[in-house]
Amino acid sequence: MAAQPRRVRRIPPLITTRRLGLGALYGALSLVFCLPLFDQPLALGTNDWDQHLFYYGVVLKNVVEYGQMPFWNPWYCGGNVMWQNPQIAILSPVYPLSLFMPLPLAMKINIVLHVWIGFIGMHLLAARAIGVRFLPAVIYLATLVTAAGAPAIHLRVGHSVFLPGFYLPLQLYFFFKALKTGEWKYVLLAAATMALMIFNGGTHILPMSIAAIGVFSIAAALARRDWRPIAFAVVFGVAALAYSAPKLLPVVQYVTGEQFWDTRNPTEQPDLVTLEMLQQVYLTPTQDVGGRLRMQRHGWHEYGNYIGIGSALALAAGLLWVVFRRSSEGRWFGGALAVTTVLLFLVSLGEFSSLAPAVLIQQLPLFSSFRIPSRYSIPFLQFAALTLGWAFRSIVSRYGLPPAARAAIAVVALGASAHLIVVNQWNLRGVFTREPFDTSMRWNGGPRQISTDADSSPYTEDSPMLRALMNDRAFFYCYESLQVARAASAGPQVLDTSPSARVADLDFSPNRFTFSVRDGSEPARIVLNQNWAQGWSTDAGEIAVGRQNELSSVTIAPGRTGRYSFTFVPPYFYTGVWVLGLALIASAYAWRVRSSAIS
């Protein structure tokens, strides 16, 4: 009997003409949306842009000019942590881009790239996870989330830490893909996306992501009477923690340590969104609401998320369809989307009751550190758009989509998309208008001695902190909400406070201060003139750690000479590296694990 020919499974190509076309389309939309940023391509920004461009600058300074890891930041505040600062991006497209262009231009291209990632993620969610096949509707859903008011208004005031929020759609896509296929590799990809958020300084997005996936998983498990969605969520969380351990473990040590100083002012209670504010949040086109509204506790950039009356009505209609439709294929999925949408919306309303979700989640360890509940309008809008997409798919599946309806919906969807881009683009106008200066770096060209600017204010609009950094000067009176307790003075990084003054030949580098000790007949009290944080060590002897707001020092006996160093490495950094290594090994084994799909 003749052998049967062996069937070969054809793997579809990863790159197709259609995918390239869609990528180019969303790239064009991203560029159009961000076009106002390039009115002055090299100009610097106002508001918080000085602080956040400074963050990127100090990472580049350590790595490029000194060949060191971005561990310690001696460039402001009398010394502060860098790797452990949750707002500082360690991994970002800004860094390779800035090797070929000025830092401000690299940041603007970085913004375009993040918006593009947001568009791609939303397209995958709407078209593949939800199943919307009508391209104009997919484009509208992608634009509704990516070109909404909240991301743009945060960028207006310089909050680059919200850029990782554009990873949320991609993260959700991987998680939903895991539920629908049962393949654990997609859970690991979702976890890797969260780890990338953390390494990119996006810890403000972290509680939003956890809340969204956590609520959805619980709702899906209850609707399906199946524990697997919760199991996927737990594995997602554990893997995300492991992948981000080199950054996250040192951050946790820092923010829970005795030397941590949170300089943010307490928020007046209750922190809530009134009906008057709610109307302004979603329906005021320019988000320029003038003076503070009643009960407004923060700047309006913490509230605004314009979508327009048409989109608001569409989202409400989609939610009602999902809630009141009794039978549908995959109803559990739409129901979980709707429940998550409602709960995230309630969280975004703030402290309207002692039992409000925003109050209750403050009792949880992570969520207690992140205030301003109105920021949850970002994940709320994402899930509301997905609920609308699910309702649209359900309606089309039941009633079809005649040609006349297709044409009408296409016109409305594309018109609404254009409206959102044009209106929310307003937030990006006039952001970068300050005179540029040289931000180039010299490979291994960092100076071995630096001075300190102890006079300038960080609140002027000429980018004072970034300017000082590029002039190789430390900026003493800094603008920073997360600091170590202040103790340092505006002098050399290492000094001898005894009359003998035996310290000489100080050699500066960000993570290591090397110095010589001359011969003398009296003990030398060698002081580390930096704010103290766990992680400092020295080969000169045992460090006498000062109390909070006091300098730390080491004593050198009379007649003892030599060359010594103070060196900083973040606590638990190497532990985190080991955890990451073990996680990658475990992930390699789990990559092909597959359970039954949740359908």
Contact 420, 143 (CB under 8 A): yes
- Its pTM stands at 0.94
Look up residue 7 and give its two tokens.
């069937």
Listed residue (131, 186, 107) closest to 436, CA to CA: 107
- Kind of pairing, strands 80-81 and 72-73? antiparallel
Give me the phi and psi of 346, to 5 degrees please: -65, -40
Amino acid 20: pLDDT: 93
Amino acid 160: pLDDT: 95
Give me the phi and psi of 79, to 5 degrees please: 105, 130
Contact 45, 158 (CB under 8 A): yes
| Interval 198-226: pLDDT, tens | 999 999 999 999 999 999 999 999 998 99
Q: What distance in Å separates the CA atoms of residue 203 and residue 367, rounded to the nearest whole number?
A: 11
Write the DSSP symbol of residue 371: -
Average pLDDT per consecutive 10 residues, the chain (599 residues; last block may be shorter): 55 79 97 97 90 96 97 95 96 96 97 98 97 97 97 94 97 96 95 97 94 97 92 97 98 92 82 91 79 82 94 97 77 94 97 92 83 94 98 93 95 98 94 93 92 91 93 91 89 88 92 93 91 93 83 90 95 98 95 77
Amino acid 392: pLDDT: 96
Amino acid 5: pLDDT: 56
Q: CA torsion, points 285, 289, 295, 298, in degrees to nearest 10?
A: 90
Question: Maximum CA pair distance of the chain?
Answer: 102
What is the separation of C-alpha 71 from the centre of its chain, rounded to a whole number of angstroms?
19
Amino acid 479: pLDDT: 86
